[in-house]
Chains A and B, each alone.
Chain A
Amino acid sequence: MSETVIKTNKLTKRFDDFVAVDEITFEVHKGEIFGFLGANGAGKTTAMRMLCGLSIPTSGEATVAGFDLFKEPEEIKKNIGYMSQKFSLYEDLTVKENIEFYGGIYGLTNKEIKSKSEELIDKLGLHNEANKLVSSLPLGWKQKLSFSVAVVHTPKIVFLDEPTGGVDPSMRRQFWDLIYNAADRGITIFVTTHYLDEAEYCNRVSIMVDGKIEALDSPAALRKTYEAKTIDEVFYKLARKAKRSE
């Protein structure tokens, strides 16, 4: 078995008497595309925030990128990338400034930043836009740029929180090309999405219901277990049993 980059054991988060994340135990391997699914309010975001070192778990154990979630959250932050649809880029900075800013935040040297930003602008075909404000870019380009800055420091894992909302089907697929490419380079992808066809692109997916991981396997195995034609159906069978909604 390949290297494990995320390992949790009964990881739990409570807010007063509300158990947002209820004893989740799972592993994610190096270079894997791992889909983290669940209905609104199932606990995905809370779980993801814990794994990123942003929220302290109530109990359980976890290591992320080889570091202990309780003892070394700062080390974890240096070794991961994070992108969410709601927040990632500074709209009033230019494309180039955003890359430089994130490069700096992630601790790259000036020389590295320079070569990385040229490489990224080249790869994304953003030569004409490099000095334009991010706010002027179409959403699809923002998403691609946002992903690219989240992996600018070649992290061990990148967390993507609903990265592809609201763009056309062709743009979503261009985004997934970037994901495949990063996974091919050994970066582990941890992704949440409401587009269940995207779940099929993952090596394995987990489905959270009411704070617990109800199912975890490859898309093909899940379809077989739940006698479903698509992951959409699997999800529907599990998620409609949910008792709570956010």
Chain B
Amino acid sequence: MNAITLNNITKTYNKKTVLAVDDVSFSVAKGEIFGLIGPDGAGKSTIFRMLTTLLLPDSGTATVGGLDVIKDFKSIRGIVGYMHGRFSLYQDLTVEENLTFFATVFNTSIEENYDLIKDIYVQIEPFKNRRAGKLSGGMKQKLALCCALIHKPQVLFLDEPTTGVDVVSRKEFWDMLKRLKAQGITILVSTSYMDEATLCDRIGLILEGKILSIASPDDTIKAYPEQLYAVKADSIYHLLLDLREYKGTINCYTFGEYLHLSITSNEEEVRKYLQDKGHTHIEIKKITPTVEDCFIRLLKEQHERNGNKNEQAN
């Protein structure tokens, strides 16, 4: 059974002038970690709010745990946990008070479901009398996750849980998600960190309210159509400017210490072009794309389509 389904869900704001979610359909299997990957404003949060019954879709249908998001909204609220990276705690309540509050709202107690949160809670327990507003980013995030889990939800919605959190806390957080998955909890998570995408079972890349692709991270990468190269030379900025000028370039952008390059010509021609431009210590090598490369490619295609549309409109 699917834990989450969306069928042709559309949502607009401001008297239908802003299209936030555009005819989106996908489903998430029970026990799956599904990642919605996309930038701010892509429509991720709107999807989360519709699935957690906080917003009504304009059209389309959706279910969570087999329940309809409109008809059965009350029952859904009892079986989902929702955590938002930027807000979900009461800043002026202590750690323990926050947790007790969320447990009480859901008619349960900290003791009843302590097993589920134990691994996470022990890390913040030394600060249980501290106000949530005074916690660090990483600790706030752990508390928010505990609060979202305290009623033992079937489906967990995590909206950008790791935004602004450092890499150590982010790694710990994803380890926690894997343990929750092992206990059969379904997780829909959104992020703008592309490296986190590989930790999901499947990912949906989303932009401007539309899902551009849905697949496992491996299949997303396999679908990349061209050979990708990593290139570097002494002056990386001038290398970038020159490669963008090069007539055989499909796309070129910075990627860590290298530039990533896709071309219509071949490696030797690129090398010769760069030598003629006076570059030194040129290194060109074939590489396997990452999810981030796939996303950049989809963005480019999207912009080109939009560009064509605008031209036709003119």
Contacts and interface: CB of A to CB of B under 8 A. Distances in A.
Given A40-B165, A194-B164, A246-B137, A166 B40 contact: yes
Interface in A157-197: 162, 165-171, 173, 176, 180, 183-184, 194-197
A185 to B, nearest CB: 12
Interface string B161-205: 001111111010000000000000000000011110000000000
Chain A interface size range = 35 or more
Contacts of B168: 39, 236, 239-240, 242
A200 B256 contact: yes
Given A165-B163, A169-B292, A220 B257 contact: yes
Main secondary structure of the interface of B (DSSP, over half): mixed
Contact of A168 (B136, B171, B192): B192
B254 A139 contact: no
Of residues A41, A162, A230, which shows the largest number of chain B Cβ atoms within 10 Å of its Cβ? A41
Contacts of B253: 170, 173
Contacts of B138: 40, 245-246
Contacts of A245: 136, 138-139, 169
B255 interface: yes
B41 A138 contact: yes
Interface string B252-293: 011111000000000000000000000000000000000010
A48 to B, nearest CB: 16
A167 B165 contact: no
Nearest to A196: B167
B225 to A, nearest CB: 17
A196 B193 CA distance: 11
15 contacts: A40-B169, A41-B137, A140-B40, A166-B39, A167-B39, A167-B192, A169-B194, A173-B254, A184-B237, A194-B166, A201-B254, A232-B195, A236-B168, A239-B168, A246-B136
Interface of B: 38-42, 135-139, 160, 163-169, 171, 192-195, 207, 236-237, 240, 253-257, 292, 295-296, 299-300
Given A40-B136, A167-B192, A173-B254, 11 more contacts: A40-B138, A41-B136, A162-B164, A165-B163, A165-B164, A169-B295, A184-B237, A236-B167, A236-B168, A239-B168, A245-B169
